[in-house]
């Protein structure tokens, strides 16, 4: 079995190497048949990589412990679903997933764009080159098919990873990370082919949107997993590994906005290719961060020889893309100029600068320990206050821009017209701010600002829909006619909910801790929690001890919670089982953690009351819905594009 | 215009680093002595016996460097939540200040890193 896996990977390596070399030669010498065969090699490499992946999955399902990978990441008592998810639980499997998703995406992108011959000709070798790196790692540096004498049982899986979220969170992140490869490859392919029009953007628009959506949802799932499983009461901790996913997402968000300027006005060409290269580099950097153990992180995967390889690869990619953009600068000059600082284009530009500034300050925070180590031999690191500061100083203006942008006209907006359109949202937000201040929300300035700005954005989105509906007649017709725009507004609404949820649950949360004997109770933000009793339960691979805690508000009982701890004998470790009450009245949570259960039966109970936190998760659903609306194929738009490029010889 | 905005972003950045200082040092037990009285992140491996109660009077344990063979040990006094994975032999990070030879940790700042069991077996500490 392992031989089959190894052979399949070697074949993949040969195929993608052929796509790189053959594809380059074909594009350079304009050999059509060679180009076709390079494309076919890329498609075939998906097949061989899939065979390798199936071999690994079968080995995991059968707990074939002669595979070192299987022995290190599973055990005989591990439930089947988690055993299968061990595919992305370790380094070798993760790399294989990268290659699998990459070759899958690449095949699909090639098959869908075969007709744009000139563009695809140089895109194929770029995709091949990226795949060569991962295939090389899998074949010669970090093979998932290493074998040894089978031990009696495997090492098992870290208990906190034994969670349904782990079935979906890592693959979604990978779909996002790897998805950013496609727009990058097309951008580089277009530059190599000297085609600097917006064709590559049109060809990859949905890819970018899909990758961005996967990355966003993947992170939100990860945040939710951390919230319900890790049990410290938060969902984002500015950990390097979390930041690793956030940075490319921010860069991709900037890219999604700036390409609209290039499509509409032919501006920002240099900026767009730079952004897409930045997003791709950040996604490789993210993989590097999670896999190298170079930065202290609570995720801290094993130190591995891969670090140097990744660093080398990132350097090559950076030098290649910067060099290529530099060589093609003359072709990328914009034909039109920004006409006014008060225009739709300008707001897009501000949005881009803020997003990139946020991504880069996060990057600075992540690499800061490495830099200080290199410069004066002493590692220094930044933490929450640093990130919070920049989130407030860049994130809050971004939030406000989300409301301003859609109201400003293209090219040049007259101030008088602006005054008129801004009157309603501005009025709504001022009233909201004053009311909140009167209610005592002034305890947190960023929180109050976030709420006030949110009111502005909400009013502006509603206004856009109302105006559009008046013009189009009905809401469905309005959205159907301009899916991208109104899908975008729906996504804005999701980001708005996210901002409100984050502000509410961080700026206005209440934390209480107490040691309770059975029968005793404690108070937290209007809730009374009473520790009733203790119980134990045997699970398939763990022993669970949990407390019974009654929650009441006023005089009425609202919920019974069961915070506790589980002990995993195979893995020799414990995990916190938090218990949460979702209050439908406040959209907030009562979050309980059994910090310690002593032998005498005393319970150290930690309670967090987090207002509005459920909006964060609700935002996820609206986010996906909005993205789908924006991505849905649009017949009118396709026809328009077909007309536009009909005259252009391909 | 772009140059102006970039300058503004940089200005905010420099403003922050000048007000808030430039990060917290991350150090091991062998060098923590040089930072007595400062707020630092202490990184190391738990050795020996863990005594006391983190929820009553504080938990005490010794830390050594993660790497190298330095004989230095730092005594840590900690109170607050103890992560599930905390025990002798685990690598941890804790924030606090060295005072009179004892590292007094900020409550709740203890973080454990992934157990070495999941790295190749030979790297046992």
- Determine whether the interchain pair B55/A379 forms a contact, defined as Cβ–Cβ distance below 8 Å: no
CA distance A546 to A620: 31
Query: Does the pLDDT at position A593 exceed 80?
Result: yes
Give A379→chain B minimum CA distance, Å. Answer: 5
- Residue B116 pLDDT: 36
CA distance A489 to B25: 43
Closest CB to B26: pick one of A380, A593, A596.
Answer: A380
How far does A481 lie from chain B, in Å, by closest CA? 34
Q: What's the DSSP call for residue A536?
A: E
Q: B44: pLDDT confidence band, cut at 50, 70 and 90? A: confident
Q: What is the pLDDT of residue B28?
A: 84
> Residue written as tokens 């936190």?
A613
Question: Where exactly are the structural domains of chain A?
Answer: 1-157, 163-413, 510-610
Task: Pick from A341, A342, A353, A395 the residue to mutate for testing the B interface (most B CBs within 10 Å).
Answer: A353
- What is the reported pLDDT for B119? 34
Sheet holding A510-516, edge to edge: A510-516, A603-610, A588-597, A579-583
Chain B residues with CB-CB distance to A232 below 8 A: 81
* C-beta separation of A508 from A441 below 8 A: yes
Nearest to A330 by CA among A271, A278, A270, A277: A270
Residues of B in contact with A341 (CB under 8 A): 1
Asked if residue A136 has pLDDT above 90, the reply is yes
Contact at CB, B12 and A393, closer than 8 angstroms: yes
Indicate whether A162 pLDDT > 90.
no
CB burial of A426-446 (b: ≥16 within 10 Å; e: otherwise) equals bebbeebbeebeeeebeeeeb
- What sign results for the dihedral spanned by CA atoms B60, B66, B71, B72? negative
> Which of A32-46, A83-97, A538-552 has the largest mean confidence?
A32-46
Q: What is the pLDDT of residue A447?
A: 92
**Which residue stretches of A328-343 are H helix?**
329-332
For B88-112, how does the pLDDT look when each residue is reduced to its tens digit (9 = 90+)? 888 888 889 998 889 999 888 888 7
Mean pLDDT for all residues in chain A:
88
Pairing of strands B74-78, B91-99: unpaired
- The confidence score (pLDDT) of residue A382 equals 81
Q: Give pLDDT, residue A649.
A: 46
Reported as a pLDDT band with limits 50, 70 and 90, residue B123 is: very low
Which tokens in the block code for residue A378?
């002493």
* Total CB pairs under 8 A between chain A and B: 97
Round the average pLDDT of chain B to a whole number and report it. 77
CATH superfamily ID and name for B24-116: Nucleic acid-binding proteins (2.40.50.140)
Would you kindly state where each structural domain of chain B is located, as residue ranges?
Answer: 24-116
pLDDT score, position B51: 85
Nearest-CA distance B10 → chain A (Å): 9
Which tokens is A556 given? 């009425």
- pLDDT value at A80 more than 60: yes
Alpha-carbon distance of A144 to A331, in angstroms, equals 44
Does the pLDDT at position A15 exceed 90? Answer: yes
- Indicate the pTM of the whole model: 0.89
């Amino acid at each position: 079995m392992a031989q089959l896996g190894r052979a399949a990977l070697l074949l993949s390596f040969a195929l993608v190497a052929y796509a790189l070399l053959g594809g380059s030669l074909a594009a350079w010498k304009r050999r059509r048949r060679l180009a076709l065969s390079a494309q076919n090699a890329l498609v075939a490499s998906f097949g061989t990589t899939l065979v390798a992946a199936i071999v690994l999955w079968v080995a995991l399902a059968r707990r074939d412990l002669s595979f070192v990978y299987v022995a290190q990441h599973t055990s005989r008592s591990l439930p089947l679903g988690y055993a299968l998810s061990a595919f992305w639980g370790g380094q070798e499997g993760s790399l294989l997933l990268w290659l699998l998703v990459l070759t899958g995406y690449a095949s699909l992108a090639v098959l869908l764009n075969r007709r744009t011959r000139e563009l695809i000709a140089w895109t194929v070798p770029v995709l091949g080159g990226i795949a060569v790196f991962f295939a090389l790692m899998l074949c010669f540096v970090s093979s998932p098919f290493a074998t040894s004498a089978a031990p009696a049982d495997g090492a098992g899986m870290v208990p906190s990873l034994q969670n349904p979220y782990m079935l979906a969170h890592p693959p979604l992140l990978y779909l996002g990370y790897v998805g950013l490869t496609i727009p990058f490859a097309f951008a580089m392919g277009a530059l190599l082919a000297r085609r600097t029009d917006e064709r590559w953007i049109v060809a990859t628009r949905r890819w970018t949107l899909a990758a961005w959506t996967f990355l966003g949802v993947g992170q939100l799932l990860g945040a939710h997993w951390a919230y319900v499983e890790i049990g410290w009461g938060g969902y984002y901790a500015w950990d390097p590994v979390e930041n690793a996913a956030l940075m490319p997402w921010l860069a991709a968000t900037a890219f999604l906005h700036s390409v609209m300027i290039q499509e509409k006005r032919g501006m920002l060409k240099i900026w767009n290719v730079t952004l897409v290269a930045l997003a791709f580099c950040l996604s490789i950097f993210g993989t590097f961060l999670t896999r190298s153990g170079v930065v202290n992180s609570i995720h801290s995967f094993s130190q591995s020889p891969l670090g140097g390889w990744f660093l080398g690869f990132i350097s090559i990619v950076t030098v290649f893309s910067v060099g290529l953009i530099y060589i093609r600068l003359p072709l990328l000059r914009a034909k039109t100029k920004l006409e006014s600082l008060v225009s739709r284009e300008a707001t897009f530009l501000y949005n881009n600068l803020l997003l990139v500034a946020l991504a880069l300050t996060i990057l600075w925070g992540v690499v800061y320990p490495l830099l200080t180590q290199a410069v004066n031999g002493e590692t220094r690191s930044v933490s929450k206050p640093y990130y919070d500061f920049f989130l407030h100083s860049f994130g809050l203006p971004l939030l406000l821009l989300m409301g301003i942008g859609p109201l400003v006209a293209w090219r040049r907006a007259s101030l008088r017209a602006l005054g008129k359109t801004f009157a309603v949202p501005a009025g709504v937000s001022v009233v909201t701010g004053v009311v909140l201040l009167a209610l005592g929300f002034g305890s947190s300035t960023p929180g109050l600002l976030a709420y006030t700005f949110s009111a502005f954005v909400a009013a502006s989105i509603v206004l856009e829909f109302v105006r559009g509906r008046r013009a189009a007649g009905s809401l469905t017709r309005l959205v159907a006619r301009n899916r991208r725009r109104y899908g975008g507004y729906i996504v804005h609404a999701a980001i708005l909910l996210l901002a409100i949820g984050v502000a509410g649950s961080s700026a206005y949360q209440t934390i209480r801790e107490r040691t309770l004997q059975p029968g005793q109770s404690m108070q937290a933000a209007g809730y009374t929690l009473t520790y009733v009793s203790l119980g134990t339960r045997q699970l398939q691979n763990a022993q669970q001890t949990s407390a019974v805690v009654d929650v009441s508000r006023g005089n009425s009982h609202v919920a019974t919670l069961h915070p506790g701890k589980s002990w995993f004998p195979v893995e020799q470790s414990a995990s916190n089982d938090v218990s949460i009450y979702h209050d439908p009245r406040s959209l907030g949570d009562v979050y309980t953690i059994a910090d310690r259960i002593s032998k005498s039966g005393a319970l150290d109970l930690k309670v967090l009351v987090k207002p509005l936190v459920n909006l964060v998760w609700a935002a996820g659903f609206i986010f996906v819905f909005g993205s789908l609306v924006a991505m849905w194929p649009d017949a009118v738009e396709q026809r328009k594009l077909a007309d536009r490029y009909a005259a252009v010889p391909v | 215009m772009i140059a102006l905005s970039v300058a503004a972003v940089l200005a905010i950045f420099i403003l922050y680093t000048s007000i808030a200082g430039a990060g917290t040092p991350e150090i091991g037990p062998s060098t923590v002595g040089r930072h007595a009285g400062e707020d630092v992140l202490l990184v190391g491996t738990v050795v020996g016996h863990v005594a006391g109660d983190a929820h009553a009077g504080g938990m005490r344990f010794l830390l050594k460097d993660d790497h190298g063979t330095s004989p230095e040990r730092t005594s840590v006094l900690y109170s607050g939540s103890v992560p599930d994975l905390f025990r002798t032999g685990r690598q941890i990070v804790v924030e606090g200040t060295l005072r009179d030879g004892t590292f007094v940790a900020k409550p709740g700042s203890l973080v454990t890193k992934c157990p070495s069991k999941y790295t190749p077996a030979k790297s046992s500490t």
